[in-house]
Amino acid sequence: MSEVDLTSEQYEKCREAGEILAEVRDEAAEMVEVGASHLEVAEWAEQRIRELGGEPAFPVNISIDEEAAHATPKIDDDSTFGEEMVNLDIGVHVDGWLADTAVTVDLSGHDELTRASEEALDAALELVEPGVETGEIGAAVESVIDGYGFNPVVNLTGHGLGHWEQHTTPNIPNREVSQSTTLEVGDVVAIEPFATDGSGKVSEGSDEEIFALDSEGSVRDRTARQALNQIVEEFRTLPFATRWLDVSRPKMALRRLKQQDIVHGYPVLKEDDGYYVSQKEHTIIVTEDGCEVTTRSR
C-alpha cells in the first residue's frame, strides 16, 4: 500500500470537523434536561455548527428510550424531554469531509446501561491500529456490554466516513463476527457501540423525518422541483431533515420525490422489545501506531 499523508488537506478538514463537533456535542448535551425542547436543542446545535465554521453532516438525531437512530424533530415539534434516556447523535462536515459522534444523556436513572456503551467504546479504541480486524473490535464491544448484563445492538454498526458519504466501508460490528475487514492507516471510521436491556435488535418504525438524495430526475411539480434544487445544491448526498427545506409544503414535496425514487427516507429505528438503548460514538483516523480520536473533548 502506498504511504498515506495524514497531514494532507483531507485529514486536516476531518480534524477540523471533529473539533467543531466535540464542542457542539458537549454544549448540546448540557442543554438536555427535563422540560427542555427537542427542537430547540437540535436547531441550536445545527446553528452552532455553522457558527464554528462547519455544516451539519446530517440532522441532529435525538433518540428517546427505545429509539436507536434516525429520530429528529419535526417542523414545529413541541416535544420536551422527560425522565428518559436521550441519545444525541450529531455530525459535522467541512467541505464534505466528515466527523460523527454520539452521547447518551441519561435522565431515566439507568446509569449502568449508559456506562456499558461508554466503556465498550473505550475498549474498542484501545484495540485500533493498522492490521486489526474489525471483528476483533466487535468482540471487545460485545464482551464489555455482556459484562454489564446487557446486549449489544447487533444489527447496527460503526462505519467508514467518505467524502460527502456518511456511511462507507468498513463496517465496525458491535459483536464478534468471523468475516471482517482489516483496518489500514488513513481509514476514517466512526465506532459506535449500542447497548440495550432488550434482545439486541432494532427494526424500522413508521416515523420518517430524515431523507437523502438517490438520484436527480425530472420533476413536474413546482414545489417538489424547488425542494430538489435545494437538496442538490445544499445537501448533495448527505441526509437532511424535512424541516430544513425552504418550500411551502415540504412534506408533500418529499412525498412526490419519494414516489419518483429521487429521495429515500430513514425510518426511526426502535429496539424490538421496546427496551432502552444507549449509545456512544467517536470518529477516528487510523494512524501508524494506533488511532487519533477527532471528536474527543478538548
Point out the annotated binding site.
70, 89, 100, 159, 167, 192, 281
Q: Is 167 a catalytic residue?
A: yes
Which amino acids are annotated as binding site for a divalent metal cation, given as ranges? Answer: 89, 100, 159, 192, 281
Crossing angle (nearest 10°) for helices 38-51 and 9-31: 150
Closest CA to 200 of 144, 152, 156, 158: 152
DSSP state letter for 123 = H
> ∠ at Cα 15 (22, 67), nearest 5°?
45
100 is catalytic: yes
Query: Catalytic: 272?
Result: no
For the chain, how many residues are written? 298
Catalytic residue among 93, 110, 159, 282: 159
Q: Which residues are annotated as a binding site for substrate?
A: 70, 167
Please, what is the Cα angle at 41 between 30 and 267, to 5 degrees? 120
Residue 94 makes CB contacts below 8 A (sequence gap 6+) with: 13, 14, 16, 17, 20, 53, 54, 55
Active site residue 192: yes
Closest CA to 42 of 10, 79, 94, 11: 79
State CA 54 to chain mean position distance: 16
Task: Verify whether residue 281 is a known catalytic residue.
Answer: yes
Which residues, 6 or more positions from 8, have their beta carbon under 8 angstroms from its beta carbon?
none
Residue tagged active-site, from 46, 84, 100, 209: 100
110 in active site: no
Catalytic annotation, pick one of 43, 129, 165, 167: 167
CB 197 within 8 A of CB 277: no
Catalytic machinery residues: 89, 100, 159, 167, 192, 281
